[in-house]
Every structure is written in structure tokens, then in C-alpha cells.
Amino acid sequence: MTPELTVINSQNHLNLRVSPLPTRESAAMNAVSVIPHEFPRLLAHYPIFFIKSQESGRFEPVALLGFDQGENLFFSNERWDVDYVPLQIMRHPFSLVRRPMAEGVPAALDLAIDMKSAQVRDDGSERLFSEDGKATKFLEERASMMQALVTGSTEAFNFTGRLAELELLESVQVKVEFVDRSEKKLQGLYWIAAAAVEKLTAEQLVDLRNRKYLEWMYFQMASLAHVSGLVARKNRLISGVAR
């Protein structure tokens, strides 16, 4: 469904109520774009890979959520079943939109809401504004989440740009077999090549550490242990074991 984005203001949206929880719609994806700032939290549950952005061909980090198009193995029975939900999903139903160009108006982004989102509902637990028109804590949190995503996306591209420059990324084909003997090959994924990391010079390593990149690299590499967890989730689904 095409979103219907409306810039938020206290007059029009004073009484609007939204649900803060992800819905089937916002969760229906098998990989979600993530930012380095989230890596420590993601590390608890999700395998992190890199994919190429369709827009720019540059590498971006993603958390893998499932094996088939639209399959999110972390979302079942209308709820997210681990405690950390990636920002790119939590942000719903909000977006940032470019402020229309006009003379004297500096380029800026405005916080908008998707009025068609299933999270916009009369019985939603959260309001955007209090009675006196002040932004609620909820709205402020979501606004800062959006800000974090914008900054984080730039950080992520700088990070992967450096990784590519140092030829630390390699293409990987993830091949998994499920309990029913069916197989799945995931294409278009990249990871950090451990062998290439070993060849880095001391100088390069220090530089990576100073930019926090080294830390992020190890988070990514460690997160791959969760691929087997993801397979287990799929297996439970296949064998119909209730979770």
C-alpha cells in the first residue's frame, strides 16, 4: 500500500492516536536496514550482513529476519518476539519528508506520519501531542529515532565505504538446509572476510579503531552465529511447533 504521508503538526494531529507496536505490514520483510549504533543491541538476536543499496550500489548493513521475500521469522502471532526491534521498523508509522523547496526556506526534513498505517488507530495507546499542543515524550522519542536513522545511515555508508576501500568485504552465498530437507540459497549478501582482516597493517587497524569501525566489524562478524538461530526459527515454523 502506498503510504499517505502527512507532515505532523499540533493543530491537525492534536487528538491522533497511534499504536507503538510493529504490525504485520511494517514487519513484512526478510532483511531490514540497520545502523552501526544499533549493532550492540542487534548482536543479541540477529545476523548482520551487508547488501548493496539498489539506489547507489553502496554497501549497507542489514539484519537478516527470514529466508524468503517478506518472511520475518521474528514476528509471529501479531507480535515481535524478541526484546529489541530494529529502528527502521520501530520508526513506523513515521517518516521524514523533504520540505518543499521555496525561496527563503532552507532545505530541511519534516517529520511526517503515514495516515494509512495500521498503527494509526483510534484505540492506539499513544498520542502525539498533549492537550496543550506540546509534543509527547512518545513523539519526541520517535523524532529522535528518525534523526538517529538519518545520521546512522551516513555513518553506515562511510563505514562500508572504508571497508570496501580496504577490500575487507566479500560476497557470500548463504546456503541453508531446513528440517524438511528443503534448501535455500541467499544471494547478494556480503560479509567481512576474516582473512582480509588479518592482513591489515597496524596503522590501518589503529585508524579503524579510532573511527569505532573495528568494534562494528567485530559486532558484525560475531552476529553471524545467529544464522543458525534463524534456521531454527524456520524449522520450528516448518514442523508446526508452537512458539
Q: Which residues lie near other proteins (CB under 8 A)?
A: 52-59, 164, 167, 169-171, 188, 190
Integer Cα distance of 29 and 66 in angstroms: 8
Could you tell me the smallest distance in angstroms from the CB atom of residue 169 to other proteins?
Answer: 6
Least distance from C-beta 41 to other proteins, angstroms? 28
Under a CB-based contact definition with an 8 Å cutoff, are residues 139 and 35 in contact?
A: no
Cβ 42 vs Cβ 36: under 8 Å: no
Query: Which of 7/193 has CB closer to other proteins?
Result: 193
User: Which one, 169 or 232, has the nearer CB to other proteins?
Assistant: 169
- What length is written for the chain? 243
- Looking up cell 567485530, which residue turns up? 218
Sheet hosting strand 94-98, strand order edge to edge: 5-7, 109-114, 94-98
Report the nearest approach of other proteins to the CB of residue 161 (Å): 9
- Are 193 and 199 spatial neighbours (Cβ–Cβ below 8 Å)? no
Three-state SS for 93-116 is CEEEEECCCECCECCCEEEEEECC
Nearer to other proteins, 55 or 123 (CB): 55
Q: Which is nearer to other proteins, 186 or 231 (CB)?
A: 186
Shortest reach from residue 62's CB to other proteins, in Å: 14
CB of 233 to other proteins, least distance (A): 28
Nearer to other proteins, 56 or 173 (CB): 56
Q: CA angle at residue 126 from 70 to 124, to 5 degrees? A: 60
Helix (H, G, I), strand (E, B) or coil at 137: helix
